[in-house]
Amino acid sequence: MIQEILINAHSYEKRIAILEDGKLVELYSESAENQEVAGNIYKGTIKSVLPGMGAAFVDIGLKRTAFLHYSELDADFLNEKQKKIRKKNDSSTIDKIFSVGDEVVVQIKKPPLNKKGASLTCRLTIPGKFLVFMPFKEKVAISRKITSGSQKHKFNDILKRIKDPEVGIIVRTDTENSTEEDFAMEYKTLETVWKQVKKGRDFLKGPQCLFNQNELIFMLTRDLFNSNVERLIVDNKEYRDKIVTQLKSIAPELIPKVELFKESTPLFDVFGIEKDIHRISNSRIPLASGGNLRIERTEAMVSIDVNTGSFTGVKHYNETILRTNMEAAFEVSRQVRLRDLSGIMVVDFIDMTTQAHRDKVFKELKLYMKRDRARNKVYPFSPLGLIEISRKRRRPEVIMSFSEVCPHCNGTGRLLAKDSVAVKIYRWLQRSEFFISKEPLLIRVHPNVNHFLESHPEFLQDFAKRIEILEDPEIEHHQFKVLLERSGKDVTEEYKS
């Protein structure tokens, strides 16, 4: 698998695209209007305490107050009085630990989603490229993906030599060729960040962000750019220089892989990425064979339906179904990563008659989902022929960063049908007839509704003598406006149900 990273750096918006074998699989963006907050550390102010919920709501400077549950408190980050009050399994004492107006240092565990505020924790961690810094925790933990006993022993010895006894460290997965010098350099950087957080905790007034780990260049060099990446291409010299400067202190061996794109044609257009980005909002995704996926998001889960579409195969029906499902297994995993779908996902593959074919599709999907950076689990086919995927939410779905809720359909993706609007007008006229039966009326409607009424003159024939329908492209599709012809007065709201 060939992995590449492309960066489009504009003064207003910066975008990172990750390609695997030439296909877009992950997309990150950063703009003044779109800031990621997961993992950021804040000094917040308690706005309310709810013992019945065992929680407090904290103002950390975001649009909505954030939620801090009792189970996320950490004795190491409480004062002596609070430590004495806190009982491990008694969340009802939270109102004795916190009062409205108190300040508390917290980290965002889950970012805000729709109408929900962020979820917080007091267990602070500061992630680096190789290490995760944990104040007051003392222990050394090593990623479960590092299985070599000798390597674990080596890392333990190194970290005990370089770290402060009161600091805990987690060794991250991407440390295979790391030396003691790499660890020592990064530990020093993380320690400096922690000192800045402590200084902010002691001297700044909340709400205040003490540490922002989501700056795109920081996330790039820490999480995305590693030895497995063939090359990193960036279309802005200034941003390229910033990346190189950042890499000098943590991974200088990666600098030769950084390339500056100098062509006049936009970088994302050259690699065909812009088209993929435009399709992220589409619910229907075509497959190369002629089949397709249908992705629908509800508040509770994501449903993904696989269809054969125009693909009919050559000879055998079962082979046609297997091929479509195998193709869909890859595309499902790609779309999950690309759109950053999370929570519970249900995939309805095309029914297969043999267990061997079901096993093959399941293994294929599981194999591709292993490439995913987010924690996930793929469950085998259920008796109803469905596969369930659970995936941890890392950030809001990608579509949220460059779309808004439709003001006409309120996010349903559907508008009131033309005939339904016509029926609403008919009922309005019925309702108002007793009061203004002698008044001639002008009714302004969207062109689509006007076309429907012209095609069905019988629809409003009971009122034809006293109404005139006017086409108005400024009127929203699902609305209409009624005016008194003589005075021009708008009476629409007066006789609405």
Where are the chain's structural domains? 3-35+214-274, 41-121, 126-211, 282-401, 418-495
**Residue of 406 and 197 predicted with greater confidence:** 197
User: What is the tens place of the pLDDT at every residue in 228-261?
Assistant: 899 999 999 999 999 999 898 778 889 999 999 9
Average pLDDT over residues 395-418: 70
d(CA 480, CA 424): 9
Mean pLDDT across the chain: 88
Q: How confident is the model at residue 105 (pLDDT cuts 50, 70, 90)?
A: very high
Give strand ranges (E) for 10-150. 13-20, 23-31, 41-50, 55-59, 66-69, 103-110, 119-121, 126-127, 131-135, 140-142
Percent of the chain as helix, strand, coil, to the nearest 5 = 35, 25, 35
- 409 has pLDDT over 70: no
326 or 405, which is more confident: 326
Q: What is the pLDDT of residue 118?
A: 93
- Provide the pLDDT for residue 59: 96
The per-residue pLDDT for 319 is 84
If pLDDT is split at 50, 70 and 90, which confidence band does 334 have? very high
**What are the beta bridge partners of residue 55?**
50, 69
pLDDT for 497 beyond 80: no
The third-level CATH classification (topology) of the domain covering 41-121 is: OB fold (Dihydrolipoamide Acetyltransferase, E2P) (2.40.50)
Range with lowest mean pLDDT among 202-216, 297-311, 479-493 = 297-311
Question: 164-201, pLDDT tens digit by residue?
Answer: 888 999 998 877 677 888 888 889 889 989 999 999 99
Radius of gyration of the chain from its Cα atoms, rounded to whole angstroms:
29
- 414 φ, ψ (degrees, to nearest 5): -135, 150
- The residue-averaged pLDDT of 73-85 equals 82
Task: Quote the pLDDT of residue 79.
Answer: 77
**Residue pair 249/185 in contact by the 8 Å Cβ criterion:** yes
* pLDDT tops 60 at residue 313: no
Identify the CA nearest to 324 among candidates 368, 286, 371.
Answer: 286
Residue 24 confidence (pLDDT): 94
For the entire predicted model, the pTM comes to: 0.71
Q: How confident is the model at residue 83 (pLDDT cuts 50, 70, 90)?
A: confident
Tell me: pLDDT of 65 over 70. Answer: yes
How confident is the model over 87-96, as pLDDT tens digits? 777 888 899 8
Residue 404, pLDDT score: 64
Mean pLDDT (whole number) for 117-146: 89
Q: Determine what percent of the chain is predicted with pLDDT higher than 70.
A: 94
pLDDT at 143 exceeding the cut of 80 = yes
Banded pLDDT at 376 (limits 50, 70, 90)? very high
Q: Distance (Å, rounded) from C-alpha 446 to C-alpha 140? A: 66
pLDDT of residue 299: 76
Give the CATH number of domain 3-35+214-274. 3.30.420.60
CATH 3.40.1260.20 fits 418-495, yes or no: yes
Specify the range with the lowest mean pLDDT, choosing from 27-31, 33-37, 323-327, 337-341: 33-37
Q: Which of 102, 91, 95 shows the shortest CA–CA distance to 44?
A: 102
